[in-house]
Amino acid sequence: MGNKEIQEQRIKSYFIEATKEILKGEGLKSLSVRNIAERAGYSYATLYNYFKDVKDLIFECVVDFHEECEEFVKTETKKSQSGPGKIKAIAKAYVKYFIQYPGIFELFFLEKTTELANKQPTIKLIYSFLDKLSEDEWEYCIKTKIVSAADASIMKDTVHYAIIGMLLFYINRREPGTYKEFFEKIETQLNYILKVK
Amino acid sequence: MGNKEIQEQRIKSYFIEATKEILKGEGLKSLSVRNIAERAGYSYATLYNYFKDVKDLIFECVVDFHEECEEFVKTETKKSQSGPGKIKAIAKAYVKYFIQYPGIFELFFLEKTTELANKQPTIKLIYSFLDKLSEDEWEYCIKTKIVSAADASIMKDTVHYAIIGMLLFYINRREPGTYKEFFEKIETQLNYILKVK
DNA sequence: TTATATATTTAACAGTGTTAATATAATGAA
DNA sequence: TTCATTATATTAACACTGTTAAATATATAA
């Protein structure tokens, strides 16, 4: 019967919600099993009845954040009209999401996950995410001959790599020193890579 | 008298060498105070007579690795003649160094260091390092009108951000799956950003 | 040699993730 | 309802982590 599974899923969600709150707030560094369990209203060992280990729990959050980010980017860029401008808008919204939640950036890109072989699809989801968000726009640019398919393939990667690099420096190394400077640099970089303006 | 200081520096170096060995081998994850001390031939508490804390010790390693990387890049690119080709060669050597020692990449870019206000110069050293390695070549390109000063400033950043992004994906997320693919991508990206070939 | 100063180590504390044993709650049958 | 069984939750413990205070060993000076 499904009642057991519904209840089980419900308790799992308490742990997941607690973990997501901590990740969005204090970040990965202040995440601990006892911390999560306290917020979820259970003892720390109870967590292991519902998750293999804490990594398992954390990776369930990844999927949720992923969906949240996708929705954020879509609503943020809804009014942009197709073309390189929209690709820029998508990239900027993507950046904004991680600036809002640096803990999620940490989780997505900085945390060691190589030992989680079974979670490989989730990892793939992360690094192909920006591509997925902007693939329609790239196709549009190719079809309308704004850019060649070969160039598009390279530019798509450049945008992604450069953005992650900038986020890494800004979030982890405070460079540039202010958000204003950072976002201007994002703008400059996107303009250069996408050859706009 | 300087004898005391020489001896003190000598013992410090034992800890530093031990830490460097672990970082180059097993990496940051298997670095611990007891681990370091054992390899240095001292008890774990002795470390605190020579370093404020373990972060202090680790940051002394950063300076050493920095010098080692600089030398590696210089010998690797000695025969390249000035111009965009040499900038490419420098970037590729820079990448090779971190591929050889992923633990050092972790240490330089992934480790949280925001709470170390006094070490700010060291942090600045890290993120301005590639710029420093290639600044002469950029000046050359500007003087010989290969590129404008304005473009050079942007391209310099793009190269750096994109390379760090690619290293992050490859080292931390195993994307692309093979070194061959990874290095081909480095080549492709550099060619696009630097407008060569 | 003895007294003092210095250097090193051991013991302890407050954390971490995880597991085994125990206690509690829910469920079934008599 | 009462008892036995099962499922779930909690406490205790283990092996780690970085760090500090007290105890010990070593070197220096009188």
- State, as a whole number of angstroms, the distance between the CA of A11 and the C1' of C24: 18
Which one of A151, A158, A192 has the shortest CB-CB distance to B154? A192
Cβ A92 vs Cβ A182: under 8 Å = no
Closest-approach nucleotide to residue A44, Cα vs C1'? D10
User: At A122, which amino acid appears?
Assistant: T
CB contact under 8 A, B173 and A126: yes
Chain A residue whose CA is closest to B105: A110
* Cis amide bond preceding B121, omega within 30: no
Residue spans of the domains in chain A: they are 1-51, 54-194
Query: Among all chains, which residue has been given the structure tokens 């949720």?
Result: A64
pLDDT above 70: percentage of residues in chain B: 96
Both tokens of residue A69? Answer: 């980010």
- The dotted CATH code for B54-194 is 1.10.357.10
Interface of B with A (CB under 8 A): 29, 109-110, 112-114, 123-124, 126-127, 151, 154-155, 157-158, 160-166, 168-169, 172-175, 185, 188-189, 192-193
Strand D bases, protein C-beta under 7 A: 8-12, 16-22
Which CATH number among 3.10.300.10, 1.20.120.1200, 1.10.10.60, 3.40.50.150 corresponds to the domain B1-51?
1.10.10.60
Could you report the per-residue pLDDT of A107-165, keeping only the tens digit for each?
A: 999 988 655 556 777 788 888 999 999 999 999 999 999 999 999 999 999 999 999 99
pLDDT at B193: 98
Give A29's contacts in chain B (Cβ within 8 Å). Answer: 112
Could you report the per-residue pLDDT of B86-139, keeping only the tens digit for each?
A: 999 999 999 999 999 999 999 999 988 655 556 777 788 888 999 999 999 999
pLDDT at A6: 87
Both tokens of residue A155? Answer: 């530019």
Mean pLDDT of B156-164: 98
pLDDT at A119: 72
CA A39, chain centre distance (Å): 24
How far apart CA B148 and CA A23 sit, in angstroms, is 44
pLDDT at B1: 46
| Distance to chain B for A123, nearest Cα, Å | 7
- State, as a whole number of angstroms, the distance between the CA of A6 and the C1' of D7: 15
How far apart CA A77 and CA A128 sit, in angstroms, is 19
Residues in chain B: 197
Chain B residue whose CA is closest to A177: B124
pLDDT at A115: 55
Chain B residue whose CA is closest to A172: B112
Cβ B103 vs Cβ B23: under 8 Å = yes
Could you report the per-residue pLDDT of B2-34, keeping only the tens digit for each?
A: 677 888 999 999 999 999 999 999 999 999 999
| Distance to chain A for B175, nearest Cα, Å | 8
| Distance to chain B for A139, nearest Cα, Å | 20
pLDDT at B113: 66
Which one of B123, B127, B162 has the shortest CB-CB distance to A162? B162
Closest-approach nucleotide to residue B51, Cα vs C1'? D19
Q: What does each C-alpha distance from B190 to A61, A70, B139 come to in angstroms?
A: 35, 30, 18
CB contact under 8 A, B172 and A123: no
Within a 13 Å sphere around the CA of B37, how many CA atoms are in the beta-carbon half? 15
Q: What stretches of chain B show up as alpha helix (H) in DSSP?
A: 2-24, 33-40, 47-50, 54-76, 84-100, 102-105, 120-127, 129-143, 149-173, 179-194
- State, as a whole number of angstroms, the distance between the CA of A40 and the C1' of D1: 36
